Structure 1
Amino acid sequence: MHHHVRRRLGLACALALLCSSVVATDFGLPDHYEFNATLSVPFQVQAGGFPIRIDFDYPGAGDITRAAWLVEVLSPTGAVIGSDSGIATLEHGRGVRSGRWNGFANGGRSLPAGYYTVRLRAVPMVEVPEDARLSTEQRVRKALAVFADEVVEQNFDVMLGRLPKARMPAMQPLPTGRVSAAAIGAPVRAQSLVAAGGGLPYTIYYGNLHSQTNHSDGGTPVATCGGAEVPQAGTMGPADAYAMMQTQAGGDFLLASEHNHMYDGSTGTNTSASPTTANNLFNSGLAAAASYRSAHPQFLALYGNEWGVISNGGHLNIINPDGLASWEYNSSNQLIGSVATTKSDYAGLYAIMKARGWIGQFNHPASSGQFQINGVSLAYDANGAEVMVLAEVLNSSAFSTNTTMTETGRSSYESAWNKLLEAGYRLAPSSDQDNHCANWGLSFTNRTGVLLPTGTALTPAAFYDALRARRVFATEDRTSQLVLTANGRVMGESFSNTGPLTLVANYASTSGQSAQRVQFFEGVPGRNGTVTQLAEGSGSYTFTPAAGKHFYYVKVTQADGLRLWSAPVWIDQGGSTPADTTPPTVSASESGTSGSITLSAAASDNVGVSRVEFLVDGVLVGTDTSAPYAVTFDSTTLSNGSHSLVAKAYDAAGNVGSSSAVSFSISNAAADTTPPTVSASESGSSGTITLSASASDNVGVSKVEFWIDGVLKGSVLTPPYTLAFNSTTLSDGSHTLVAKAYDAAGNVGTSSAVAFTISNAPAAVERISNGGFESGTTGWTASSGVITSDSTYPAKTGSWKAWLDGYGSSHTDSAYQAVTIPSTVTSATLSFWLRVDSSETTTSTAYDTLKVQIRDTSGNVLATLATYSNLNKGSSYVQRSFDVSAWKGKTVRVYFLGVEDSSQATSFLIDDVSLKTQ
């Protein structure tokens, strides 16, 4: 578990946070570790000011790694009115700085009521001796300049004084998905939003689109999770994530977005990896999502990939992959995946995504240094503009262990989203949790809200269509909703406009929250400039835009400080292109009466058709975005008899043309209700083991899944049904294997459980001799009388123990043993049992101490592992243990040093000392 560095200072100016020392000039970040600095500031005054907290998290930090930070308070006009800076030490990769802004400007000048901005900029760095003569502020500003591409920027607006709430249009909430509605008490019946411009026939589904399971570096129970996790070492997989999001977090959807480069079980490249194993794991994830959707039709389980490396590229989610994109090859030059991509080649990736119909999300985008093309950060790419549909504006802490939705560590990426919009991307905002620990959806109340036409089934196809349409908003409050309309057009749309434009922030809350502040923002796509605030104070704003192309979005801050962001609308004001009001024309046809049938359409438009939707009996069943417009459809999901097909064609302006209804008939054979029969077997006890199954069916087996200890580990589509499996992902000991066989009708046969045993770890070797002291002083060097069988205090086991101090006067005792830790071991753990008996009555002062140390053979202290005192007194032995693998390859002394003051006896009793290596 990581220990936070927590300190607090009194304030000497308007803004004061803890300052430190040291800096850096030559520093490269490792690929797979993200430096994160999170700013936390309340929206309203608390105890006469604004408490400010900065959390630093950098799993790749070394002993000399530091974090340089600068916090500034900006006035409503953007002027800096207060600042503080410092250099934070990172202990186990983490650190904390705390302080307070008292609501005054530098010099104690009082400020008028208004909305002010607290801005953090931070970078990782290392100490450089030649900068020792610089002041802390100079070092910080130098680090920010040197590492400009690594700067993390966070902004929080705060409300100083009493300000009137925003004037919002009256409205009712839109209906929500059944899962989230049950969780938050929202309506589920179809309703229309009361807003200028008419009703909005949409249903909102809440969820998160960024999380990991044990297919990559997630799935670790919260009790043991707290930092960079080992790939595939977690105990919980996609099905566990979906179940937690649905049943505990009350979400309607979850995307398990596994790191694409970890399917070989490594953060680097495992040159011994099997492509078959990697692809089977990926395919098992797709199967797990499909299986969960089938069993829980009210919840949308999705499986995708987080592509890229964080520090020398940038992460993005591929939301709907049908193959594993990889740049890694094993020693046989085999791709460890199925779709070849080049590491950090974003232009190449965007082209592949477009060709394969994949869509994506920019994950926790930095304002600089990431998603580079030809050296340009956040670079525009025409293919990328088609396939990238979302950008995160907020994440809760990636390694949060919070399970009550109260996480305070949240990172904002609004500035990077604005830069991507200005570059020319059409991106809706999203709000995710990036869960690595097993608390999917439980870290905080933030969600991504997706709008589906009311009455449309929650299917992957319909959901992806909504993402492509950018009908999405981001929220920190799962009980609130925000839909931007522009002259009656819904957020996400692109259209031409003449004359005035009316923007309306359609906001609602099902938990009694209210909008304190509403801000409309404007930008110009392709300008690569700055997004600016257009207006605030009212939920409706009418104006006439300047000629040309623009985008507009709205941000609402609730009275409780939680924020919502709408997707933009994109308009072309005036110009040479008149508003397109002509809908496409479309006709539909169907072929086939059983099995897979084909739904087709012919569509045309005066400008161009953007997509065609196919609805069977009024339900959306598929979409095609390019001619010839056709989809294949599994008719076994329909009842035998007559059905109706309607095709809807859309253009880029949002005009819709509907075909006449086409009747067709379905006549499938009687349903197959006979499940396959299947038996399972396993061979091997270490390394790569083989999972096997024998399966048969009256019609045919479509796939066989292999489940270990109730967790899906892989699937095979064709006989022989065997799967090579890396047993090092399992703990040593007993496990159970179950095989599940499926047929085309969805019938499932389950094998009897087969028990097997794994034994990968080498036997532990004890390096301490006479650890229980039963042979007296053999192996130990100790003060006189320390190693004893005196019966005043019992030993933990046997009769002998080490008894340090207990005299009630100034006294020092010691006991040590020299131990050699081989350089070849993978782990080394020191443990012992300790009982502290003391006559001291204080509950706050450590008068008598026992230090557990590692010393060299000359007696020099290399490390003090722990210090115990009279404050640890108790009536029983407690086991203590420490990782001492840092000293492998050395001979060291395991040293116990007891120091007692001049009064009141404290006895330190030690037994069963052990140092085991593997």
Structure 2
Amino acid sequence: MRALSIITVFAFSIICMPTSGHATTVDHHEFEAWLEAPFVAGKDGTRALTLHFSAPDARPGHTLHWRLDLLAPNGRALRMWRRTQPLEEPGRNVTIRWHAPPTLRQGVYRLRLRARAGNNPEVEQDWNVAVGALPAAPAASLQATDAVEALPYAIYLGNLHSQTNHSDGGGALDHCTGAQAPQSAALGPADAYAYARQHGLDFLMTSEHNHMYDGSDGTNIEADPAAATALYRSGLQAAAQWNRTHSGFLAIYGQEWGVISHGGHLNILNSGELLGWERNALGELLADTESPRNDYAALYRLMRERGWAGQFNHPQRHQFAIGGKPLAWTEDGDQAMLLCEVMNSNAFSAHTDEAEPRLSTYEAACNQLLEAGYHLAFSSDQDNHCANWGASYSNRTGVLVERGAPLDAASLLAALRARRVFATMDKNARLILTANGHLMGERFVNRGKLTLRASYASLSGHRAAAIDIFHGVPGRNGAVAALGGTARTVVTPAAGEHFYYARVTQDDGKMLWSAPIWVSQQPRNRALRKIELR
């Protein structure tokens, strides 16, 4: 069977927030597009690239603009397809039959999709495809199972992004096709933890939309603030009760803050307070603590003051703006935000066989956040809204917890703060990056040469088809670039700040991302160099 790679692109529709009544805004009612691209071509060398588009808010006169580029391993554009077409129907597919020309050398190439619908901002995602016979692993040392197992850390795999009936999740699998009406489904946090544990996860976060605790997708002017905050506290209590009575699995309860329209979603992993901006008809805040909608500078400041940890969820390049600048860096945000979701399976999948075909990648936006100066590890989640927590696809967030430490909230949070994290599309694969003996997630001062080593291990017999080491400069607000294509890369960085991370593409097209490692390169001391030469 050929392995399939899917890209899902979301370009978000403008949504008006009601100020009264029970009217809803449908936070997930967005333009959607994804690219279905087989990682390996058929026997005749041809593959069908299918672009799927869904525009629930299409209006007369709206147009869809899309562009698909084939990129060489060095990033050079080799082929381009593009079209502008009317958005007259709710859904539309475009199929491109592509046969790689014989002049194209064997290797792993990149397909990059950019799409824009109506007045929505352009979004970008990309995916790898193999041309010709699958290449051999770039270096024998890449298959470094022993190196991974020798680490003084236990590896736990889970999902840090899902919903239950405390917001718009928990939908029964026999009829779940999208977000549920807030608080309408039957299954809550305890059901989610039990399901995820049964399906082999080590941890699950139920991250409920903070603005749905009034039972509405908009603003319920009749809502009781005490009921909203009590529901949040009941979720915290459900996770605590689960952890007291079960071992070997960590239940996490938190909130997904924000709205998509002109904003962006992020998870707050450890808040004991419900944040919000909505008020009922009496002017009462429907939350514990006021947090103005779309004010990310204020949110980051609050998170830093409280010691809360965050994750950017399915980020796009036009989101998380401060002062009109998307993906803007602040010192508070850098302290509070730990993770960036680099890929997701479809939020509304009802699959329970880990075979959901609609997948999304967000590497471009995560890279922009890193270039802005954020110190973020990559995560890989599922955003489950149906009652299939962790089972829609084989992707996981891998966390390295100190060996011998219990799997609890404190040990997991300590590992996340240290950025000892990797993102994987294959729960049976591991990826670790080191630099001069320092583990991914670390920040250290270096002089002279820097030796980067990527250690990859597959527990299910897969091998690496490609390895990429990427380099960027925090605070430069430039472009991350591929540095090398081997498991061992030696460089002498220029004086200043740098970050590096590894990405492995398996022989089935599934990818893994290491956490970055941050290096402050110092000029070598001349006197020390003279001593060394004697």
Residue 438 of structure 1 is matched in structure 2 by 387
Quote the Cα distance in structure 2 between the aligned partners of 1:63 and 1:372.
Answer: 30
Residue 208 (structure 1) aligned to one of 130, 147, 159: 159
Equivalence for 1:417? 366
CA distance in 1, matches of 2:160, 2:37: 26
Structure 1 position 89, deviation (Å): 4.9
Q: Corresponding residue for 2:274?
A: 324
Aligned counterpart in structure 2 of residue 169 of structure 1, from 141, 145, 165: 141
Structure 2 residue aligned with 1:816: none
Q: Which residue of 1 aligns with 2:9?
A: none
CA distance in 2, matches of 1:219, 1:352: 30
Which residue does 1:515 correspond to in 2? 464
Identify the structure with the greater helix proportion.
2
Match of 1:118? 111
Counterparts of 1:524-563 in structure 2, within 5 Å, are 524-536=473-485, 538-563=486-511
Match of 2:180, as an amino acid? Answer: E
Alpha carbons 1:56, 1:90 under 8 Å: kept? no
Aligned residue among 283, 287, 307 for 1:337: 287
The CA distance in 1 between the partners of 2:183 and 2:152, in whole Å, is: 43
Match of 2:298 in 1: 348
Decide which structure has the larger Cα Rg and report it: 1
For the Cα contact (< 8 Å) 1:36–1:152, is it kept in 2? no
Contact persistence 1:393–1:413 (CA under 8 A): yes
Give the partner amino acid of 2:310. G
Distance 1:504 1:98, change over 3 A: same
Aligned-residue Cα RMSD (Å) equals 2.1
Q: How does 1:2-17 map to 2 (within 5 A)?
A: none
| Alignment partner, residue 203 of structure 2 | 253
> Matched residues in 1 for 2:302 and 2:59: separation?
37
Q: 1:456 aligns with which of 405, 421, 428?
A: 405
Paired amino acid for 1:167: A
Provide closer, same or farther for how the CA distance between residues 56 and 295 of structure 1 changes in structure 2, counting only shifts above 3 A: farther
In the TM superposition, what is the alpha-carbon distance from 1:467 to its structure 2 partner?
Answer: 0.6
Change (3 A) 1:42 1:339: same
Q: Report how far residue 522 of structure 1 moved.
A: 0.3
Write the distance in 2 (CA, Å) between the matches of 1:409 and 1:564. Answer: 17
8 Å contact kept, 1:75–1:81: no
- Work out the CA distance in 2 between the residues paired with 1:294 and 1:332: 39
Of 377, 388, 391, 2:340 maps to 391
State the partner residue of 1:273.
223
Deviation digits for residues 799-844 of structure 1, max 9, x if unmatched?
xxxxxxxxxxxxxxxxxxxxxxxxxxxxxxxxxxxxxxxxxxxxxx
Residues in 2 aligned to 1:215 and 1:60: alpha-carbon distance in whole angstroms: 27
SS of equivalent residue, structure 1 residue 418:
helix
Structure 2 counterpart of 1:226, which letter? T
CA–CA separation in structure 1 for the residues paired with 2:370 and 2:142: 30
1:219 aligns with 2:170: yes
Cα distance change of structure 1 residues 577 and 315 upon mapping to structure 2, 3 Å threshold: farther
Aligned pairs, how many?
501
- Describe the shift of the 1:58–1:334 C-alpha distance in structure 2 as closer, same or farther (beyond 3 A): farther
Look up the equivalent residue of 1:245 and give its one-letter code: A
**Paired residue for 1:42?**
38
CA distance in 2, matches of 1:301, 1:55: 36
Distance 1:44 1:436 in 2: 31
Aligned AA for 1:480?
A
The separation in 2 between residues aligned to 1:170 and 1:120, in whole angstroms, is 29
Residue 155 of structure 1, aligned match among 123, 126, 132: 126
- Assess if the C-alpha contact under 8 Å between 1:260 and 1:305 holds in 2: yes
Correspondence for 2:531: none
Cα shift readout 1:196-226 (whole Å, capped 9, x = no counterpart): xxx4201110001111111101111121111
Amino acid paired to 2:408: T
Quote the Cα distance in structure 2 between the aligned partners of 1:345 and 1:548: 32
Post-superposition shift, 1:39? 2.0
Do the aligned partners of 1:55 and 1:409 also contact (CA within 8 Å) in 2?
Answer: no
Task: Tell me the CA shift for residue 515 of structure 1.
Answer: 1.1
Match among 85, 100, 104 for residue 103 of structure 1: 100
Cα 1:457/1:60, change in 2 over 3 Å: farther
Is 1:236 matched with 2:179?
Answer: no
Extract unaligned runs of 5+ from structure 2.
1-12, 17-24, 527-534
Pick from 76, 83, 86 the counterpart of residue 85 of structure 1.
83
1:168–1:540: 8 Å Cα contact kept in structure 2? no
Residue in structure 2 matched with residue 291 of structure 1 by the alignment? 241
**Distance in 1 between residues matched to 2:289 and 2:88, nearest whole Å:** 39
Corresponding letter in the other structure for 2:335: E
Amino acid at match of 1:503: L
Map of 1:774 onto structure 2: none
| Alignment deviations for residues 436-482 of structure 1 (CA, whole Å, 9 cap, x no partner) | 11111111000000000111100101111111110000000000011
Q: Deviations over 1:248-290 (max 9, x none)?
A: x210001000000000111111111101110111011111111
Q: Given the two structures, how large is their TM-score scaled by the length of structure 1? A: 0.53
CA distance 1:448–1:90, shift in 2 (3 Å): farther
CA distance in 1, matches of 2:519, 2:227: 48
Q: 1:159 deviation in Å? A: 1.6
* Superposition map of 1:817-832 within 5 A: none
Residues 1:320 and 1:58: Cα distance change in structure 2 (over 3 Å): farther
Structure 2 CA distance for aligned equivalents of residues 558 and 42 of structure 1: 13
Q: In structure 1, what is the Cα distance between the partners aligned to 2:525 and 2:239?
A: 44
Name the residue aligned to 2:22.
Answer: none
Residue of structure 1 equivalent to 2:415: 466
Alpha-carbon distance, 1:160 to partner: 0.9
Distance 1:374 1:170 in 2: 44
Shift of 1:516: 1.3
**Equivalent position SS for 1:565:** strand
1:67–1:90: 8 Å Cα contact kept in structure 2?
Answer: no
Query: Are residues 97 and 285 of structure 1, via their aligned partners in 2, closer, same or farther at CA, if it must alter by over 3 Å?
Result: farther
Residue 513 of structure 2: which of 565, 587, 593 is its match? 565
Q: In the TM superposition, what whole-angstrom CA distance separates every residue of 1:717-765 from its partner, at most 9, and x where no partner exists?
A: xxxxxxxxxxxxxxxxxxxxxxxxxxxxxxxxxxxxxxxxxxxxxxxxx
Per-residue CA deviations over 1:624-644 (Å, capped at 9, x if unaligned) read xxxxxxxxxxxxxxxxxxxxx
Q: Distance in 2 between matches of 1:577 and 1:404?
A: 57
Confirm or deny: 8 A CA contact 1:39 1:154 kept in the other structure: no
Distance 1:96 1:213 in 2: 32
Displacement of 1:37: 2.1
Q: Distance in 2 between matches of 1:258 and 1:442?
A: 19
Amino acid at match of 1:159: A
Q: Distance in 1 between matches of 2:376 and 2:445?
A: 18
Alignment of structure 1 residues 710-749 onto 2, 5 Å: none
1:172 and 1:72 map into 2 onto residues whose CA distance is 33
**Partner SS for 1:441:** coil
2:141 counterpart SS class: coil
- 1:710 alignment partner in structure 2: none
Structure 1, unpaired ranges of 5+: 1-26, 126-145, 175-191, 579-918
The match for 1:866 is none
**Where in structure 1 do 4 or more consecutive aligned residues deviate above 6 Å?**
none
CA positional deviation for 1:74: 2.5
| Residue type at the aligned position of 2:315 | P
TM-superposed deviation, 1:85: 2.3
Distance 2:222 2:241 in 1: 31
- Tell me the secondary structure at the aligned position of residue 193 of structure 1: helix
**1:306 has 2:304 as partner:** no
Aligned equivalents of 1:356 and 1:70: distance in 2?
Answer: 43
- Residues in 1 aligned to 2:411 and 2:376: alpha-carbon distance in whole angstroms: 18
Partner of 2:4: none
Higher strand share: 1
CA contact (8 A) 2:114 2:123 kept: yes
